[in-house]
């Protein structure tokens, strides 16, 4: 075999994915497109509209009636008999979901159901998330074959060339006759295992992709190039680790928290030559791994999983539960309940007029869609506790361990208390979100397994990170509260310089901003001798101040609960 | 809806398959909870369960699948006593479902267009005498969970709203699946599930290849694949049926009861539900294997399924609850 050709650019891979999707929408399910609004994305979206498939654009707040069908209220009222509107789930189409990063878990679950029913639906997620914490629902992304990132594509490159519709039809016809050999299957599965891809959907999708590629190329059997291209399209964004070399005696166990199994050793222990995927294939996929993945592997963290933080908790609901509010006119969408009394009351004054207009109407009461009133309720949203922990200096390890314990203790009661927990740690020159907002004890345990400590105290940076996280979660309908664990001795300024005076000034400034944003908070002084600095900081933040010099996990969790409830 | 993947063709995942079979033999066990990562075949297994269940006899047109005309609720207005055979219902409860869809509600269309007060039965009515499947059960909203807990406890769905006063039987087996990384399950709901299973992706490369092979065959030539596995599915269904027949005559001696109690005490499982489920699961397994009496081996096999979700959770304990049960079983049963 010759050398592997240079990997295609993200743009041409994206177009290729589109063409394949048109060939086999049922098998490949769809693609995730990660791109901000702009000319490049526009060109790509135009290419999507040129695919020879029925397309329906949906939105993150789409109702059940629209998805699964239900009564068409306007027509029902006009005709005086039940008129049903078929839902999107009935007719196979390519569904396009913009703002996919804001899709609620409920919608993701429903779309997953529609895809699993295999009626010929495809799904394109347009993900406009800005940072890696904002992502389309991972349950959906796992089901879709392709993941295209167009953020780095320059405009001149963006030329939409797709196969002619005739070619796609020919490929569709050929698809059923493309045979995959047992070796092809083995190669793709083993390759996925080497990259630490746990989900078995990945090799399954790669196989379907390889088939579609062969069909599009006019072959009846899979060639090595088809396999390589399929692997390049499906695997890179799913990888959680770099493959180990075969003769590496003691492969350093990648501390990827999601990877609970000992797959890498499994893969390299197998002696059979047929199980070892072609080195060329490995190189091809390795060349396409997103740079962020390499960084995270270097830091010892997993690449996937952050997306699931997108909010397991209930949002503030307007029309289902809680304290009742007066009914408002609105359109029944299958999620809200009609207030029958209010609807009739709204219709009553007009009955005489309407009867005169339509004397032959069969109904006893003539109701127009505009009369319909919906129930509304006011509900309390979930609370999010953002633990912001000083991981600097010598006390760092103990303090982090106690904060971790407190997070886990709080999570145990989280369900009953409707709390979510996040953890931000700051040390050295910056801060990072160690645990995105979650209610899952399992996720917390996996992500908190290794926490680095030591270095300077960039207090301001920590507060900035916490404020950002709090602001983001407020946008998702949570009520954030901050718990800051520090000794208050800031010595690294916002710009990363070790300047004590500047650092204190910066921290005070951010604290004032936090006060303005109105997040409730508590500052826990963990210094052995409680000082003035943390108390002053708490005053600026408008937060409570607690001195807990030898705080342990249980005391921190109790203190935080009481301080914020009181 | 296309045909489900055949149950017998699922590769590995023995614990999950065992739990499904036990719940099919003994519905009173209280259902199965399957927790695991994405892409491990959780939903596939649940959906294939439907094909294993023997059909039920129900009054024709009855919204709650009642067995006799006397059991039909009045509001349904069923006059016939004809019965038909229908598959055991396996009803999907989608996430984000409204209370109205679950319990049933005033039939808005009829109310608005004809001015009639009629009841539109919900998912609970359809699930009566069958199975209620909740995918991503840990993401289910609180008020729906409250509602399910209440109905699961009483076996009756009571709707008192919008001038309606309706009640109908709602006895169903809960089957749930979810990914623990996305959220915890409320302890009260956890307790309602008789058996729980944790599934992981197979780590053996050959097993993984076999999974892909079968899935691929199913996707490409579904008819041939279903035909090839039909007999094996039928064999399992027959064993389930004969196990149901012998279930009541399968004996559990005092020694076994004592073992059940000892296990639960040693594990500190809350309440007596643990003992009861353990015993019923062991008996179902004995019946499935054609044994006359329940033995310690049966107990040993079902203990992790019946008990691992009933332990007091210790957040600072790194080992999983499965490991704790296994340790305890080894201690108590030797």
Q: Where are the domains of chain A?
A: 9-162, 177-243+256-310, 323-378, 383-565
Beta strand spans in A393-528 (E): 419-427, 430-438, 479-486, 521-525
Q: What angle do CA A320, A321, A322 make, to 5 degrees?
A: 145
Cα atoms in the Cβ-side hemisphere of radius 13 Å centred on B257: 5
Query: Considering only CA atoms, which of A453, A452, A446 is closest in space to residue A411?
Result: A446
DSSP per-residue letters across B192-236: H-SEEEEE-----HHHHHHHHHHHHHHHH-HHHHHHHHHHHHHHH
Is residue A344 a contact partner of residue A365, using CB atoms and an 8 Å limit?
yes
Give residue A319's pLDDT. 46
Is residue B252 a contact partner of residue B279, using CB atoms and an 8 Å limit?
yes
Query: Considering only CA atoms, which of B302, B314, B308 is closest in space to residue B18?
Result: B302
Q: Does A438 touch chain B (CB under 8 A)?
A: yes
**How big is chain A, counted in residues?**
566
Q: Is A499 helix (H, G, I), strand (E, B) or coil?
A: coil
Per-residue pLDDT tens over the stretch A421-463: 888 888 877 888 888 887 777 777 777 766 666 778 888 888 8
List B134's β-bridge partners, or say none. B176
DSSP per-residue letters across A231-299: HHHHSGGG--SPPPPTT-SSPPPP--TT--S-HHHHHHH---GGGS--HHHHHHHHTTS-HHHHHHHHH
What are the phi and psi torsion angles at A128 (to 5°)?
-105, 20
Give residue A450's pLDDT. 63
* Structure-token pair, residue B132: 């209620």
Determine, for residues A408 and B315 on separate chains, whether the beta-carbon distance falls below 8 Å: yes
Instruction: Return the axis-axis angle of helices B273-288 and B14-25, rounded to nearest 10°.
Output: 90
Instruction: Report the share of chain A in percent with pLDDT over 90.
Output: 1
Using CA atoms, how far residue B73 sits from B83, B107, B158, in Å, is 15, 17, 12
User: Mean pLDDT across the stretch A501-513?
Assistant: 85
Q: CA A96, CA A121: separation in Å to the nearest integer?
A: 11
Q: CA B147, CA B159: separation in Å to the nearest integer?
A: 11
Is residue A226 a contact partner of residue A185, using CB atoms and an 8 Å limit?
no
Q: Does B94 touch chain A (CB under 8 A)?
A: yes
Per-residue pLDDT tens over the stretch A4-30: 445 567 888 888 888 888 888 888 888
Give residue A316's pLDDT. 45
How close, in Å, is residue B35 to chain A by CA atoms? 11
Give residue A317's pLDDT. 43
Give residue B148's pLDDT. 85
Contacts of A116 in chain B (CB under 8 A): 43
Determine, for residues B112 and A367 on separate chains, whether the beta-carbon distance falls below 8 Å: yes
Q: Which of B97, B185, B201 sits opposite A200 (nearest CB)?
A: B201
Q: Does A348 touch chain B (CB under 8 A)?
A: no
Query: Considering only CA atoms, which of B306, B261, B262, B318 is closest in space to residue B282?
Result: B306
Q: CA A252, CA A243: separation in Å to the nearest integer?
A: 11
Q: CA A551, CA A218: separation in Å to the nearest integer?
A: 69
Contacts of B185 in chain A (CB under 8 A): 415
B-contacting residues in A 456-495 (Cβ below 8 Å) = none
Q: Does B161 touch chain A (CB under 8 A)?
A: no
Q: Which of A80, A200, A364 sits opposite B39 (nearest CB)?
A: A200
Do β-strands B56-59 and B83-86 pair in parallel, antiparallel, or remain unpaired?
antiparallel
A270: pLDDT strictly greater than 70: no
pLDDT band at A2; cut points 50, 70, 90: very low
Q: CA A440, CA A180: separation in Å to the nearest integer?
A: 40
Is residue A82 a contact partner of residue B113, using CB atoms and an 8 Å limit?
yes
Using CA atoms, how far residue B90 sits from A42, B46, B125, in Å, is 44, 9, 12
Per-residue pLDDT tens, chain B, 334 aa: give them. 457 888 888 888 888 889 989 988 888 888 888 888 777 778 888 888 887 888 888 888 788 888 877 778 777 777 777 888 888 888 888 776 777 778 887 776 666 666 677 788 888 888 888 888 888 888 787 778 888 888 887 888 888 876 778 888 888 888 888 887 777 777 778 877 888 888 888 888 888 888 888 888 888 888 899 899 888 888 998 999 899 899 888 888 888 888 888 888 888 776 788 888 899 999 999 999 988 888 888 988 888 888 888 876 655 455 567 777 888 888 877 7
Size of interface A-B (CB pairs under 8 A): 191
B-contacting residues in A 491-530 (Cβ below 8 Å) = none
Q: CA A524, CA A556: separation in Å to the nearest integer?
A: 8
Query: Considering only CA atoms, which of B48, B185, B163 is closest in space to residue B117?
Result: B163
Q: What is the ipTM of this complex?
A: 0.75
Mean pLDDT of chain A: 74
Mutate to test the interface with B, among A174, A189, A267, A557 (most CBs of B within 10 A): A189
The number of beta carbons lying within 10 Å of the beta carbon of residue A380 is 11
Q: CA A265, CA A269: separation in Å to the nearest integer?
A: 6
Asked whether the CA dihedral A441, B178, B36, B53 is positive or negative, the reply is: positive
Q: Does A81 touch chain B (CB under 8 A)?
A: yes
User: Mean pLDDT across the stretch A516-526?
Assistant: 80
3-state secondary structure B105-164: EECHHHHHHHCCCCEEECHHHHHCCEEEEEECHHHCCHHHHHHHHHHHHHCEEEEEECCE
Using CA atoms, how far residue B266 sits from B257, B259, B311, B330, in Å, is 14, 10, 10, 11
Q: CA A43, CA A13: separation in Å to the nearest integer?
A: 14
A-contacting residues in B 231-290 (Cβ below 8 Å) = none
**How big is chain B, counted in residues?**
334
E strand or H helix at A466, and its extent?
A: helix A459-475
Query: Considering only CA atoms, which of B60, B15, B249, B33 is closest in space to residue B133?
Result: B33
Give residue A6's pLDDT. 52
Residue range B248-333 forms a domain whose CATH class is mainly alpha
Q: Does B162 touch chain A (CB under 8 A)?
A: yes
Q: A383-565 in CATH: which number?
A: 3.40.50.410
Q: CA A424, CA A433: separation in Å to the nearest integer?
A: 4
Q: Does A413 touch chain B (CB under 8 A)?
A: no
pTM: 0.71
Give residue B283's pLDDT. 92
* Structure-token pair, residue A561: 């609960």
Query: Considering only CA atoms, which of A478, A440, A305, A407 is closest in space to residue B183?
Result: A440
Per-residue pLDDT tens over the stretch A190-244: 888 888 888 888 888 999 899 899 998 888 888 888 888 888 888 888 887 777 6
Domains A9-162 and A383-565 fall in the same CATH topology: yes
Burial of B21 per CB tally in 10 Å (0-12, 13-18, 19+): buried
Q: CA B257, CA A70: separation in Å to the nearest integer?
A: 52
Q: Does B118 touch chain A (CB under 8 A)?
A: no
Instruction: Report the share of chain A in percent with pLDDT over 70.
Output: 75
The number of beta carbons lying within 10 Å of the beta carbon of residue A84 is 13
User: Mean pLDDT across the stretch A279-295?
Assistant: 68
Q: Which of A176, A189, A336 sits opposite B208 (nearest CB)?
A: A189
The listed range with the strongest mean pLDDT (A50-64, A233-247, A318-332) is A50-64
Contacts of A531 (CB under 8 A, 6+ apart): A487, A488, A489, A525
A551: pLDDT strictly greater than 70: no
Domain boundaries, chain B: 7-199, 248-333
Give residue B288's pLDDT. 92
A303: pLDDT strictly greater than 60: no
Is residue A105 a contact partner of residue B136, using CB atoms and an 8 Å limit?
yes
B-contacting residues in A 4-43 (Cβ below 8 Å) = 27
Contacts of A249 (CB under 8 A, 6+ apart): none
Give residue B127's pLDDT. 87
Per-residue pLDDT tens over the stretch A483-493: 888 877 788 88
First to last CA, chain A: 71
E strand or H helix at A528, and its extent?
A: none
Domain A9-162 belongs in CATH node 3.40.50.12780? no
Determine, for residues B94 and A116 on separate chains, whether the beta-carbon distance falls below 8 Å: no
Q: Which of A110, A308, A337 sits opposite B181 (nearest CB)?
A: A308
Q: B7-199 in CATH: which number?
A: 3.40.50.300
Is residue B216 a contact partner of residue A200, using CB atoms and an 8 Å limit?
no
Q: In A476-517, where does DSSP find H-type helix?
A: 500-517
Is residue B64 a contact partner of residue B91, using CB atoms and an 8 Å limit?
no
Q: Does A82 touch chain B (CB under 8 A)?
A: yes
Q: Is A18 helix (H, G, I), strand (E, B) or coil?
A: helix
* Structure-token pair, residue A425: 């740690």
Residue with tokens 């332990």: B311
Give residue B216's pLDDT. 86
User: Mean pLDDT across the stretch A307-334?
Assistant: 53
Q: Which of A80, A340, A409 sits opposite B315 (nearest CB)?
A: A409
- How many helices (H) and strands (E) chain A has is answered by 23, 15
* Catalytic positions of B: 273
Would residue A29 be called left, alpha or beta, if left means φ above 0 and alpha means ψ between -120 and 50 degrees?
A: left
Is residue A492 a contact partner of residue A458, using CB atoms and an 8 Å limit?
yes
CA A42 to chain centre: 23
């Amino acid at each position: 075999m010759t050398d592997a050709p240079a990997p295609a650019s993200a743009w041409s891979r994206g177009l290729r994915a589109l063409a394949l999707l048109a060939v086999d929408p049922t098998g490949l399910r769809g693609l995730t497109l990660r791109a901000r609004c702009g000319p490049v994305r526009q060109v790509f979206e135009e290419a999507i509209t040129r695919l020879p498939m029925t397309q329906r654009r949906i939105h993150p707040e789409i109702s059940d009636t629209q998805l699964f069908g239900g009564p068409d209220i306007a027509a029902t009222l006009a005709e005086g008999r039940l008129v049903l509107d078929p839902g999107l789930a009935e007719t196979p189409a390519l569904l396009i979901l913009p703002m996919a990063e804001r899709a609620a878990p409920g919608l993701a679950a429903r779309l997953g159901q529609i895809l699993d029913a295999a009626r010929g639906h495809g799904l394109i997620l347009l993900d406009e998330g800005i940072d890696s914490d904002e992502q389309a629902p991972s349950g959906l992304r796992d089901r879709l074959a392709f993941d295209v990132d167009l953020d780095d594509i320059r405009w001149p490159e963006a030329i939409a060339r797709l196969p002619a519709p005739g070619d796609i039809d020919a490929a569709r016809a050929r698809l059923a006759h493309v045979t995959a050999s047992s070796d092809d299957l083995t190669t793709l599965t083993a390759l996925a295992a080497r990259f630490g891809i746990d989900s078995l959907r990945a090799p399954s999708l790669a196989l379907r992709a390889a088939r579609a590629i062969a069909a599009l190329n006019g072959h009846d059997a899979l060639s090595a190039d088809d396999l390589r291209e399929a692997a390049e399209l499906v695997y890179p964004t799913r990888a959680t680790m770099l493959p180990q070399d075969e003769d590496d005696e003691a492969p350093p166990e990648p501390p990827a928290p999601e990877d609970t199994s000992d797959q890498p050793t499994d893969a390299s222990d197998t002696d059979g030559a047929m199980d070892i995927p072609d080195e060329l294939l490995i190189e091809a996929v390795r060349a396409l791994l997103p740079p962020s993945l390499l960084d995270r592997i270097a830091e010892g963290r997993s690449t996937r999983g952050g997306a699931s933080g997108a909010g397991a908790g209930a949002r503030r609901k307007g029309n289902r539960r809680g304290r009742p509010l007066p009914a408002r006119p609105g359109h029944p969408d299958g999620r809200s309940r009609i207030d029958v009394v209010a609807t009739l009351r709204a219709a009553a004054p007009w009955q005489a007029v309407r009867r005169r207009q339509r004397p032959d109407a069969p109904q006893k009461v003539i109701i127009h869609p505009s009369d319909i009133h919906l129930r509304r309720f006011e509900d309390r949203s979930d609370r999010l506790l953002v633990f912001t922990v000083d991981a600097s200096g010598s006390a760092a390890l103990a303090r982090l361990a106690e904060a971790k314990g407190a997070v886990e203790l709080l999570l145990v009661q989280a369900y009953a208390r409707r709390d979510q927990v996040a953890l931000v740690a700051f040390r050295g020159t910056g801060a990072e979100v160690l645990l995105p907002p979650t209610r899952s004890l399992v996720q917390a345990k996996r992500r908190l397994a290794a926490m680095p400590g030591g270095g300077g105290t960039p207090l301001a940076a920590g507060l900035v990170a916490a404020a950002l996280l709090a602001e983001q979660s407020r946008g998702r309908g949570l009520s954030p509260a901050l718990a800051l664990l520090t000794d208050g001795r800031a010595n690294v300024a916002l710009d990363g310089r070790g300047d004590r005076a500047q650092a204190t000034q910066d921290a005070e400034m951010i604290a004032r901003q936090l006060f303005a944003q109105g997040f409730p908070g508590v500052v826990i002084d963990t210094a052995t001798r409680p000082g003035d600095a943390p108390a002053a900081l708490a005053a600026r933040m408008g937060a409570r101040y607690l001195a807990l010099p030898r705080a342990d996990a249980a005391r921190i969790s109790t203190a935080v609960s009481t301080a914020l409830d009181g | 809806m296309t045909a489900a993947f055949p149950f017998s063709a699922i590769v590995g995942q023995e614990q999950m398959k065992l739990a499904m079979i036990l719940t099919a033999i003994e519905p009173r066990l209280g259902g199965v909870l399957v927790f695991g990562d994405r892409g491990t075949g959780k939903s596939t297994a649940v959906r294939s369960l439907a094909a294993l269940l023997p059909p039920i006899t129900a009054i024709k047109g009855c919204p709650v699948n009642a067995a006799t005309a006397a059991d039909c609720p009045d509001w349904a207005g069923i006059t016939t006593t004809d019965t038909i055979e229908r598959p055991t219902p396996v009803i999907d409860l989608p996430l984000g479902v409204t209370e109205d869809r679950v319990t049933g509600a005033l039939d808005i269309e009829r109310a608005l267009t004809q001015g009639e007060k009629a009841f539109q039965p919900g998912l609970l009515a359809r699930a009566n005498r069958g199975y209620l499947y909740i995918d991503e059960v840990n993401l289910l909203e609180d008020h729906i969970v409250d509602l399910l807990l209440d109905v699961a406890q009483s076996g009756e769905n009571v709707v008192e709203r919008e001038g309606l006063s309706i009640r109908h039987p709602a006895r169903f087996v809960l089957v749930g699946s979810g990914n623990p990384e996305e959220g915890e399950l409320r302890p009260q709901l956890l307790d309602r599930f008789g058996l729980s299973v944790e599934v992981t992706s197979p780590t053996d490369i050959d097993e993984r290849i076999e999974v892909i092979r079968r899935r691929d065959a199913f996707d490409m030539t579904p008819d041939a694949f279903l035909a090839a596995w039909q007999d094996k599915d039928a064999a399992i269904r027959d064993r389930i049926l004969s196990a149901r027949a012998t279930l009541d005559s399968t004996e559990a001696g005092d020694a076994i009861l004592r073992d059940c109690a000892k296990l639960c005490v040693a594990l500190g499982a809350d309440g007596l539900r643990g003992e009861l489920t353990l015993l019923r699961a062991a008996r179902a397994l004995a019946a499935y294997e054609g044994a006359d009496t329940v033995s310690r081996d049966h107990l040993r096999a079902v203990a992790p399924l019946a008990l691992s979700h009933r332990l007091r959770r210790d957040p600072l304990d790194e080992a999983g609850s499965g490991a704790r049960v296994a340790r305890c079983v080894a201690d108590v049963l030797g």
